[in-house]
Structure 1
Amino acid sequence: MAAKSELTIPVSISAGIHIGVIVILALGVDFSDKPKPIPQASAPAVQAVVVDQQKVAEHVERLKAQKREAARKEKARQDDADRRVREARKEREREQAQIKKLEQQRKQKEIETRNANDAAKAAQLKQKQEKEKAARAEADRKQKDKERKASEEAAKKAADKRKAEEAAAKKAADERKRKAEAERKRKAEEQARRQQEQMMQDALAAEQVALSQTRNKQVTSEVDRYTSMIIATIARNVRQEESMRGKSCKVLVRLAKDGFVTTNRIIEGDPALCTATQSAIQRLQKLPVSSEPAVYEKLKELNIIYRPSFN
């Protein structure tokens, strides 16, 4: 492709020059039907025409020489390219021949190595088989010796076992007797312990009942005392009227641990008396309460029934 491109440029130049010469000659020629008479040219004019034609011829010869030189160079370049191609082909053929030779040598080496490996494996296999045969013979001998010893050991163990079983049977009988006696003593002791524990539990329960009853009486007494104090406190602060005589009011009161009234709600009763009772509690804000937890638990929520008394 490069050679063709190099040849095209000179040929194009030559063709352009030829076309230019032809155009110049054509412009100097008259193609009219009736040729005009040629005037007699003077000597200087004829000489000028001859000189111009000589320059054109020289120019044409130069162009031809340039074309021949370009063709010669192109042929030389093409010959050199062909020579390099032939040399490269020969070099490639030499390399391929060398590669082929090396490949043949490599394959031969592989065959020789494989044969050597096969021979070594065969020798190793034979040696292994001989070792295995010797090992099997030794194993058979050891197995027979083991079986003989095992038979002798089994006979000895059987005798020892029989003696041990007889001794164990005697020991077991003695142990059963000992355990039976120990169990009888344990049951007797357990029975005595349980009876003693039951007696202690009964005594503790009786004592607990007595203490509980005493405690309940004390708590009930304190609750009654504080309830009376609460009702008396409320009564002192109720604004009584004669119309309240013989009437009552039931009020729900909830108390905090310090006696502060958290709930003051009318449940039932005479409206006027209930209103006066509720107002008195609101003015008081706090009522008497015990610091004893058991007493407070029964006082923290009371349904108070207030009946005014008149002297």
Structure 2
Amino acid sequence: MWSKTKMEPAFKKSLIISGALHLVVAVLLFVNFNFFKNEEILVVPMPGDLSAPLNATTVDQSQFDELKERNQQKKKDEEKRKKDLEKKKQQEEREKRLEEQRLKKQEQEKKEAELAEKKAAEEKKKQAIEKEKQQKLAAEKKKKEEEKKKQQELEKKKKEKLAKEKAAKEKAAKEKAEKEKAEQEKREREAAEEMLAEQLEEEAEARRAAKAGQILTEKQRYLAMIIAKIQQNWFVDDTMRGKECRVNIRLASNGFVTSSSVLGGDRALCESAMRAIQKAGNFPMSPDPDVYDALKDLTTILRPELR
């Protein structure tokens, strides 16, 4: 047994060593809890009996430095591994984003191409419809023009036929009148030849007077017929009541109007009167040249007949 005086210094020394070792162990555990994994274990006996001798295995400084260096290298390797993983992850994410962008762009280009193709097809269809429409309109226009031309030709032929028929009738009437006149004159001459010579002068004078009266009467009759035909083709209304128009009409021997003009009167009334004259086209005309001579350059006043 150790004496009390001898144990006290030994005890103090044991406490100091134990405290120091505990501090070292605590520091090492703080640095890395795996520090002693698969390494040499430092056993520090805890004092059970303060009187028992303290035995501890001390750690060599070189071993400590080696352990520390290996631990730091592991830490660096771990950090590098994490950085590599992070870098790889970032690279994968970047490639993923690029692929997504590429696919998105490809999809967009596809949609745009489809839209452009659809638009082109619609435009082509629209142009085809418009072309067909224009062709249809052109065909309809051509058809209308042909029908109009055909109608005009028919009307022209109809007018020509009517004119020929009228001219033939007028010619026949004129020939008849001339024949009757010739026969009448022949009868008159035969009757005159039978009269005494002294009556020839009186009869000739009487014939001249009768002729003048006949011309005047025939002029009035044909003038009334001309005005009646104008009235038939004259469209008038109540605004023209009491108004008149002075006109000049020049006629051919067959009654056709060669010219017409307004000499004075109400403007609206005169315009409608001129239209009536133009619509009439031609007027009845006496086959007698003297009557025609009195009517060929006709000036008269026209008044509308309103009831």
Q: TM-score, normalised by structure 1?
A: 0.35
Q: TM-score, normalised by structure 2?
A: 0.35
